[in-house]
A and B are shown apart, each in its own frame.
Chain A
Amino acid sequence: MAEHHTVTDGKHKASPNAGGSLHGNSRPNVASGGGGKGGLSGGLAQPAGWQSLLSFTILFLAWLAGFSSRLFAVIRFESIIHEFDPWFNYRSTHHLTTNGFYEFLNWFDERSWYPLGRIVGGTVYPGLMVTAGLIHYVLNLLHLTVHIRDVCVFLAPVFSGLTSISTFLLTRELWNQGAGLLAACFIAIVPGYISRSVAGSFDNEGIAIFALQFTYYLWVKSIKTGSVFWSIGCCLSYFYMVSAWGGYVFIINLIPLHVFVLLLMQRYSRRVYIAYSTFYIVGLVLSMQIPFVGFQPIRTSEHMAAAGVFALLQAYAFLQYLKNRLTKQEFQTLFFLGVALAAGVVFLTVIYLTYTGELWTVSYAKIHIPIIASVSEHQPTTWVSFFFDLHILVCTFPAGLWFCIKNVNDERVFVALYAISAVYFAGVMVRLMLTLTPVVCMLSAIAFSSVFEHYLGDDMKRENPPVEDSSDEDDKRNSGNLYDKAGKVRKHVSEQEKAEEGLGPNIKSIVTMLMLMLLMMFAVHCTWVTSNAYSSPSVVLASYNHDGTRNILDDFREAYYWLRQNTDEHARVMSWWDYGYQIAGMANRTTLVDNNTWNNSHIALVGKAMSSNESAAYEIMRSLDVDYVLIIFGGVIGYSGDDINKFLWMVRIAEGEHPKDIRESDYFTPQGEFRVDKAGSPVLLSCLMYKMSYYRFGEMQLDFRTPPGFDRTRNAEIGNKDIKFKHLEEAFTSEHWLVRIYKVKKLDNREPLDHKLRSIVPRPKYTSKKV
């Protein structure tokens, strides 16, 4: 394989490098060293062999470390799917493996969004399910009878290894092999990425980061070589990314931005033209093959930048072509004409699009704002979480960025843009920390690698080309250099010491030690964060006693399994949308709303039912054919993520759709507080959610210091202890009261009288006691 690459690389070495500073190229050792000898020197007898063995081992160890540090949850609990969205992905994958690919694509899920249903095949990114299904299929074809659940649980850790390899490749393209290996190690254990890819977190992001990094690698490769081969590879990788995650929009905006900036920097070359034209056309066609994406790439505003840059690039290339054919005068006239025409066309298009409302599709976001805002991972990122997720890397990556900008070339422009845009997005939304993490790892690796090259070891000096050499040229040559030089150095008869660079060995070793300390602390921090913050399945809770023994609170599964076993197969369960996927996945029952929050009004209706009083709620529930209502109540064990704490979001979302019936202010005390005790607003104390949460809780005394009905989550004695239901009845409550399920009664056969039957008190008979 090595020869193969070198051959391809070598070919393009001959082509003139547009716009790059070439001073390093004039140095004889680089020029002659690039002859592509690296490939031939194989075998362990040669340093190149050792080097590739070392790289291979480091990558393998990085994979292993990444894989094992993601297994905390499996070891502490079990091989189980985590959280909410993964349950849907698991359910779909299960559907895919049992019913086949086409059934999956055409799957209409009548078990969710009752009575609307959901066209699953057309509303998911199928990459994740197809990947897991394919692995499962292949394994079973080889008679490795692995359950699909285990494939799903371990998919993300396995892909984290692939991510570190693709990060290695990308960083090697950008800088050198050493930086690549460092980057691979960083990304393997960095918490920002682990948070989304622990075992059991079967989510799109787990495989998408691999696809992202690999696409970028292939893009850098294709822009360096200008070969259609790499561009097509980039398109295929992009296609995989599109099929896996909505974050593909990041790629389709970043790559055009890169091309645009290259044009601005006068770095246009035929390689850029070939790479981008191929990528745009093939990538566009491929991305439209995903049913969920469909025609969005040619319709929506977030894809327009790519189209615009494509047009611009064509125009630019055309002008370049004309420049060679026309006189200067003709060219100028033509140029102005063209510019005027283009401006006119763009102007008219914008007017048209604005008129039809296609361009600024903000109305969508406007409707969904309460729902979007109610998701915690859509909150802006705090400074703490940058450090928490990236630790030392967040401090060192600007240095790497500076190195890149200082020794700029085509692909380093790319990584700079990548870094800047990712930082911006990560600042906007916690979730997008994920896209920042890989670039931070790469740039930090570059920074560390440069420092180490400078400070670590004298004998390495001759082997590693100085930074100046590697920075200004295509790096493939550097990797070639590494091999060649290494091969030759050994044979020097007389080894000559180069002059010191003015740094004493003490300073060198101190700096090196400090750097190593930092890296060690980073590794410790990563493990600690992974173990404490990101390795909870959240389906199973654990509490620790004073003596260190562990209690498992398995209430969620208890209640879901009760639903699965002891309710009618077609029973409809109403719950807040957070639990929709879990109910569908674990209880296998029909839900009204779930985490795919596509229909706001439906969610608002459920919110309205939860926040109305019982009889009004009964009307809504009857109209929605609800059989059971499921709520989460943490008052007994002090679980803070329960429905009462989420209740205000329900009210807000309901108010958005039904402002006449539900008003958020009604649920606050006159002082503007949200209280569940006696001082709480009467509307709150009589609403369905409150009653369901605290039904019979008023009788319960948790310990002797607190009064009966003391809510541990909100530290208050509840205000309404006498809760009676007319239309509901308690169907199931889990052991720690975490999940409570109520059954919605059917209408009585006869309308009950709302007053007591008149009872005739028989008059006492007066009997004379006459004798």
Chain B
Amino acid sequence: MNDASSFRLRLRIDSRELCAAFLCCFCFIAADDGLVNEEVKRTVDLSTHLAKITAEILLSNQGDSAVHSFILAVESDLAPHLAYIGVKGDEEEDGMLELKQTAIQGQSGEFYKVQLPSSLGAGAKLRVKVETVFSHVLRPFPTHITQAERQLVVFQGNHYLFSPYPTRSQTTRVRLASKTVETYTKLGNPSKSDDAIEYGPFRDVAPFSEDTMKVHYENNTPFLTISSITRTIEVSHWGNIAVEETIDLRHTGAFLKGPFSRYDYQRQSDSGISSVKSFKTILPASAQDVYYRDEIGNISTSHLQVLEDSVEVEVRPRFPLFGGWKTHYIIGYNLPSYEYLYTLGDQYALKMRLVDHVYDDQVIDSLTVKLILPEGARNIHVETPYPIDRVPDQLHYTYLDTFGRPVLVASKTNLVEQHIQDIVVHYTFNKILMLQEPLLVVGAFYILFFTVIIYVRLDFSITKDPAAEVRMKVASITEQVLTLVNKRLGLYRHMDEVVNRYKQSRDAGALNSGRKTLEADHRTLTNDISSLQARLKAEGSDLADKVGEVQKLDGQVKELVCRSCQEAERLVAGKVKKEAYIENEKNLASKRLDLVTRIDSLLDTL
């Protein structure tokens, strides 16, 4: 029996998906197995808005041969509401057993064939734990209540374990949400303690026996249902995974009848006791930049608490949710990708929760998951923990995309907390493609600047204005003239320095070479200016005359410079006295200044 522990099969099954596929696969008579439920302990937990029925079964094989599987059955009334079914061996370390939907001729209901990890020999016994969760089976009755009233619900189930095998002994314990119970069926004189009802033990129950158990009791737990949730996971290889959940929420308890009075709601603590003010959503510990909003902006009534192993958002809808009221919101956050994205060369694997926690004991009527992979991801392969419907892939375009990101879309209905499991997506991605986006930006800016450069440099006007053109030409020539004239004036200053140095060092060679360079430079500059002057004249500008005048003045300056040079030579040679030289020099300098000023003023008018 304990051999089962050596097998770690953790495959579970869900009620609806396999229905069609396996409905007609196996048809056989149950009693043939010779299996018997020795002892059954059922717990019907009705303390929330879900019905969680667990049964601990001691199976014994009283047939002749070993069996490899057994059958689980769900009543036909409850079967459509079955959200989750799972079987476990009784040992702690036992994994989940494999389930397969099947059918039994002549019997209504849903049947699951459980594959045993090892065969069960004749006379051997096995303890298993069957867990089932049903959604929307607690019916509010009355269906409409006022704000002051409490919510009463009815549950209809089976006193016995619905099983294809005979049951030797069985107890059923019903856990309720409160002490207040209106009525309950009294099969076998059950005992009722605070918030629990104990049925049984029932002895020797025949296979497929059904007896309606009905409990009508007070249940003020929030009857919240997520009527639809769209979970978008956008993976970026730049280190971020963005998750966004769009949630439609509805209070599926008893409808609110009559007015909603804020006064009563604020003053009396038990007013609107079944309404939902807020609930907690647990996000992954590394969640950042959490936002909580709807179509008209942030929902300012929420709080965020960062805990050690999770981030807790206190989600408070804009208004309290009463029976029948609904709301809609978006919650989103960013995750660092290193926690969820694994890579080996070009191979990537993303391991994330297919659906995450929204509130405790959540019921999701319809889930759509959109997985947006990076642009260029190929060979996509998905591993889901339970069967899920795949819709054809889509393309998604966002910032800097060119050919679109692949989007995997999948959907599933009727999910509960037990479905919070990981999905694994394998894909390959060429790392070179990471460069595409930065290059795109660089290219765009390059083109922009280039266009501006081109535009500024070229003349795009469709008319030619000869006058303006001439003016511009003249302008450019005068510009050149100005530069040249200034350079020439600079030469003189340079010469002055040479002369001064000569006066100190008395090195005639240096002076001569300086004079020579001056002459040469001066000649070239003057020639240049003359040619420019000629061009100005050719353009017909009156500025040519002014340039001519500058040239004339410059000639005089040149002469003065030469004279001061000669004077210096004479001084050095001792041909003149120092006083006379200084007098002379002053004279020359003032003349030069006068000339330069005139040149300046001429240049000003250019």
| A residues in contact (CB < 8 Å) with B | 1-4, 6-8, 10-11, 14, 28-29, 32, 35-37, 39-42, 77-80, 143-145, 487-488, 491-494, 539-540, 552, 554, 557-562, 564-566, 585-586, 696-697, 699-700, 729-735, 737, 743
Contacts and interface: CB of A to CB of B under 8 A. Distances in A.
Nearest to B482: A491
B261 A733 contact: yes
A188 B99 CA distance: 70
A152 to B, nearest CB: 12
B461 interface: yes
Contacts of A80: 296-298
14 contacts: A3-B459, A4-B460, A7-B461, A11-B468, A35-B475, A41-B479, A143-B397, A488-B604, A493-B596, A494-B593, A557-B318, A561-B296, A562-B325, A566-B325
B259 A731 contact: yes
A229 B456 CA distance: 20
Interface string B284-302: 0000000000111111110
Of B258, B298, B461, chain A has the most CB atoms within 10 Å of the CB of B298
Interface string B451-485: 00001100111000101100110111011001100
Interface of B: 258-263, 294-301, 318-319, 324-328, 397-402, 455-456, 459-461, 465, 467-468, 471-472, 474-476, 478-479, 482-483, 486, 489-490, 543, 593, 596-597, 600, 603-606
Given A32-B543, A488-B482, A540-B297, 13 more contacts: A1-B455, A7-B461, A8-B461, A28-B605, A37-B479, A79-B297, A80-B297, A491-B482, A491-B603, A493-B486, A561-B296, A565-B325, A566-B326
Contact of B468 (A10, A42, A585, A733): A10
A560 B603 CA distance: 75
B257 to A, nearest CB: 11
Given A40-B476, A729-B258, A731-B260, A558 B318 contact: yes
Contacts of A8: 461
A561 B318 contact: yes
A737 B267 CA distance: 13
Nearest to A737: B262
A36 B471 contact: yes
A7 B297 contact: no
Given A32-B606, A493-B489, A39 B472 contact: yes
Given A36-B468, A731-B260, A494 B596 contact: yes
A554 B318 contact: yes
Contact of B600 (A6, A78, A143, A494): A494
B461 A4 contact: yes
Nearest to B324: A566
A560 B500 CA distance: 92
A585 B606 CA distance: 66
B475 A37 contact: yes
A1 B456 contact: yes
Nearest to B301: A554
B260 A733 contact: yes
Of A494, A540, A731, chain B has the most CB atoms within 10 Å of the CB of A494
Nearest to A736: B262
A29 B459 contact: no
Given A14-B467, A565-B325, A729-B259, A40 B397 contact: no
A562 B296 CA distance: 12
A564 B327 CA distance: 9
A145 B483 contact: no
Contacts of B300: 540, 552, 554
A491 B486 contact: yes
A557 B297 contact: yes
A492 B325 contact: no
Given A145-B399, A494-B596, A554-B301, A565 B456 contact: no
Top 6 A-B pairs ranked by shortest CB distance? A733-B262, A37-B475, A730-B259, A552-B300, A729-B259, A558-B318
B83 to A, nearest CB: 26
Contacts of B261: 696, 730, 733
Contact of A488 (B260, B490, B593, B603): B603
B259 A145 contact: no
Contacts of B593: 494
A179 to B, nearest CB: 25
